[in-house]
Amino acid sequence: MTDSSMDNASAARCLVNGHLGAAVPVTDRGLAYGDGVFETMRVGRGQIALLDYHLNRLRRGLAALRMPVDLAATVLELEAEAERLHTGVIKLTLTRGTGRRGYAIPAEFTPTRICQSFPLVSHAPEHAREGVRLFECQTRLALQPMLAGIKHLNRLEQVLARSEWSDPDYAEGLVRDTQGNVIECTMSNLFLLENGRWVTPDLGSCGVQGVMRDYLIDQLARIGEPVSIRSVPMATVLSSDEVFCCNSLYGVWPVVGLAQSRWPVGPRTRRVQALAEQVLV
């Protein structure tokens, strides 16, 4: 990364503990053990979309990893970077910092804060307009309630699941747990309409609790369409009336195909799309 690229507001740049740079010590526990959390946030008009939801998940992740971190400086840095970037993506990574060899958590630690800014990636507009097909991944998510829901740094399950296909006909992949229940997609959460009611998989044992998922659950409850959170067998997905996937960068993509099943882009999904678009300016 060159200095000139860092000076360009639309180019990628990196701050490590508030200073321009892209290097961390090889002894950092984030590198050695995945000991940390991250958030990837969309920026529009100098503001971070769903910032409160991101911060809530960040706090849950830090608590799960027993990493007490004062986020005051982090929030100020995020807001300043968003204003500078204006439009794009910010990825925040917090690790437990450097430490000696061994898994034991240091009694005292100084966290490493990495703030990366990127241009906004343009997804194919037809994904939102016409819907997407899902690849049925064979990689299974292990059950681990202690880490369920948070964005910890070990994303190898998602890496392996995403490696299963290269066919551009598939925009996303459906992922199940080791018991066969549908959990999520490789980079997004899943909702389905069953008998007129919205359902989303329970993430109490594995999976990532997306901020767009949380936002849509709140908004659907507000308009009188509460979401049922429960175990979802594959058969339930395949027999659903409407299906969509969502995340905080692209919003909502209607799902129009999975295995042999096909769905139209339904009116209820379009309504949810509009709710997402309200915050992704």
Q: What is the amino acid identity at position 60?
A: R
Q: Is 186 a catalytic residue?
A: no
Could you give the 3-state DSSP secondary structure of residue 2? coil
Q: Is 91 a catalytic residue?
A: no
180-183 own/partner pairs: CB under 8 Å, 24+ apart? 180/233, 180/234, 181/231, 181/232, 181/233, 182/232, 182/233, 182/234, 182/236, 182/237, 183/141, 183/207
- On whether the CB atoms of residues 81 and 21 are closer than 8 A, the answer is no
Q: What is the amino acid identity at position 39?
A: E
Which of 39, 151, 172, 186 does the annotation list as catalytic? 151
Which of 77, 81, 184, 242 does the annotation list as catalytic? 184
Which of 39, 40, 95, 269 does the annotation list as catalytic? 40
Angle between helices 51-64 and 211-222 (to 10 degrees): 120
Token readout for 173 is 């992949």
111 to each of 4, 36, 98, 239, how far by Cα in Å?
A: 28, 9, 8, 47
114 to each of 39, 121, 171, how far by Cα in Å?
A: 11, 20, 29
Which residues are known catalytic residues? Answer: 40, 151, 184
